[in-house]
């Protein structure tokens, strides 16, 4: 691992290190010590140089020097001239926190972390819509008696929900039979099942640039090689996609045609037709993830049908949907629609995973799905008002920041002028904002000067968010990584 990769990995492991109390160098030393204690860092791991770590964390070199001194004093690290600083072999991690070397077990975007006294941009989530409580109350005693009298195991999904999903797609100009539908525990499970079925170590997967970090993690965990294809205002570029299909011979393409995450782009109907034709010509299966279709939509009338509607001949397109984004993150019900034979194969992987998704949640989803478009319209009105509020604040307090107006989605994809988002994220962390650098969305590390700003916060939180970002930006522009003669406190 080269020295910059070492520094990047440690920064990822440190998490929200600045939120602790005490002098800055002790906060840093404490975060590294915790990494050693739980086994994220093990004996022999090399730590970054003081200069490299100071640059990435946007602190003085003296701060890092003092932190390393404290770690050496506790016997946690050793420094040898010419070999750098390494985790000491004299201290072993506790068994309850030990992690395997195949992965750190840490979530670099903080999605699995507990509550923190900051505004996190890592998730774009909303409270449950009112219709969820209404649907819950509507499940009267008769409904519950029927459900509980059933065996409770539906490996392919609760039949009324599969029928509702089929009707939903048929109404969207994609004729669908219930046999073409598999119900899953969220959209994320679909991606995992597809990865199991299609990918082997070394397989090539084509993704958009940028893309959703969660899918990139799943594909990397399967040992896939990721090839990024750029986008324009109509979606993934057809010319570059054609070249990637011809030259890279991928086993799968993962695309987000409807309100792409993070850019909010809506792929045009003509581009969908081109993508489907390319997939058929090159025999590349496509996984289209439309989980964000219920957000902020400014769709034409009628809205473009799913990409699968343009699949003909041997084109193999799997369409993903979910209740989590449109209704509530706690309603972990998703689905995949595709050719019946492919769905049958995926169902076998699903059975090995969990024997079937929760039936009560599926029954609720079956009641809600016919109202999903109305739910999305109502939520979209709220989010558009918040988006207008965010844009006005940015224009006032951060006039140099730029973005392209999204067609839909959950926020703004913002470009920072002449600044690494990874560098800014470290400063923002000290101002109470957890930001995700755009490089996390791109397999090549590009888009490093971008941030996603969700509009799923309440208006007052968005106001506070922009004020914190503005203070962090002013701090970065005014000071940069200072080099005082003693540790910063």
pLDDT at residue 355 in the model: 87
Bridge partners, residue 56, by sequence: none
Among residues 100, 308, 277, 289, the alpha carbon closest in space to that of 212 is found at: 289
Sheet holding 225-232, edge to edge: 181-184, 334-337, 317-322, 286-289, 252-255, 204-209, 225-232, 235-236
Q: What does the angle CA 402 – CA 125 – CA 442 come to, to the nearest 5 degrees?
A: 50
pLDDT at residue 118 in the model: 83
Domain architecture of the chain: domains with CATH: 3-106 (1.10.10.10), 120-128+374-478 (3.90.1150.10), 130-371 (3.40.640.10)
Helix (H) or strand (E) holding 174: none
Q: What is the pTM of this model?
A: 0.81
Return averaged pLDDT per consecutive 10 residues of the chain, 489 residues in all: 66 78 85 90 90 82 88 90 83 47 41 58 87 88 82 93 98 97 96 97 97 93 96 97 98 96 95 97 96 64 89 91 91 96 96 92 95 89 93 97 92 94 90 91 92 95 97 86 38
Let me know how long the chain is. 489
CA–CA separation, 421 and 417 (whole Å):
10
* Burial letters 438-447, b for 16+ CB under 10 A, else e: bbbbbbeeeb
Q: Is residue 369 within 8 Å of residue 355, measured between CB atoms? A: no
Q: What does the angle CA 445 – CA 20 – CA 80 come to, to the nearest 5 degrees?
A: 65
- Specify the DSSP class assigned to residue 47: P
pLDDT at residue 3 in the model: 62
């Amino acid at each position: 691992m080269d020295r910059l990769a070492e520094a990047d990995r440690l920064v990822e492991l440190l998490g929200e290190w600045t939120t602790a109390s005490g002098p800055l160098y002790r906060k840093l030393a404490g975060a590294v010590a915790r990494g050693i204690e739980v086994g994220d860092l093990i004996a022999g791991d090399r730590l970054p140089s003081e200069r490299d770590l100071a640059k990435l964390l946007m602190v003085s070199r003296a701060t890092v020097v003092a932190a390393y001194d404290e770690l050496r004093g506790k016997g946690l690290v050793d420094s040898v001239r010419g070999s750098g600083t390494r985790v000491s072999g004299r201290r072993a991690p506790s068994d309850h926190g030990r992690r395997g070397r195949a992965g750190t077990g840490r979530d670099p975007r903080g999605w699995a972390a507990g509550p923190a006294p900051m505004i996190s941009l890592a998730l774009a989530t909303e409270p449950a819509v009112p219709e969820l409580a209404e649907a819950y109350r509507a499940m009267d005693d008769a409904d519950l008696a029927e459900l509980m009298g059933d065996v409770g195991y539906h490996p392919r999904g609760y039949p009324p929900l599969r029928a509702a999903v089929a009707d939903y797609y048929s109404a969207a100009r994609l004729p669908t039979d219930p046999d073409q539908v598999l119900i899953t525990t969220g959209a994320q499970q679909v991606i995992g099942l597809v990865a199991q079925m299609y990918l082997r170590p070394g397989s090539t997967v084509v993704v958009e640039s940028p893309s959703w970090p969660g899918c990139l993690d799943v594909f990397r965990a399967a040992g896939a090689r990721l090839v990024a294809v750029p986008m324009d205002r109509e979606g993934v570029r057809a010319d570059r996609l054609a070249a990637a299909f011809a030259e890279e011979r991928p086993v799968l393409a993962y695309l987000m045609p409807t309100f792409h995450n993070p850019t909010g782009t809506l792929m045009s109907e003509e581009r969908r037709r081109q993508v489907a034709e390319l997939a058929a010509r090159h025999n590349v299966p496509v996984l289209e993830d439309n989980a964000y279709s219920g957000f902020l939509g400014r769709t034409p009338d009628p809205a473009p049908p799913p990409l699968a509607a343009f699949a003909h001949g041997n084109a193999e397109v799997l369409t993903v949907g979910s209740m989590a984004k449109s209704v509530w993150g706690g309603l972990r019900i998703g689905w995949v629609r595709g050719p019946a034979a492919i769905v049958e194969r995926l169902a076998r992987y699903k059975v090995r995973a969990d024997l079937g998704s929760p039936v009560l949640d599926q029954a609720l989803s079956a009641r809600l799905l016919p109202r999903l478009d109305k739910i999305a319209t109502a939520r979209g009105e709220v989010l558009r008002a918040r988006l207008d509020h965010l844009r006005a604040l940015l224009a006032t307090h951060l006039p140099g920041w730029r973005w392209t107006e999204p067609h839909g989605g959950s926020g703004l994809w913002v470009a920072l002028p002449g600044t690494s988002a990874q560098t800014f994220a470290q400063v923002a962390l000290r101002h109470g904002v957890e930001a995700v650098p755009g490089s996390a969305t791109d397999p090549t590390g590009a888009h490093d000067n971008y941030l996603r700003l969700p509009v799923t916060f309440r208006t007052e939180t968005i106001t506070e968010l922009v004020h914190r970002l503005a203070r962090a930006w002013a701090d970065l522009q005014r000071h940069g990584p200072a080099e005082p003669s003693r540790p910063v406190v």
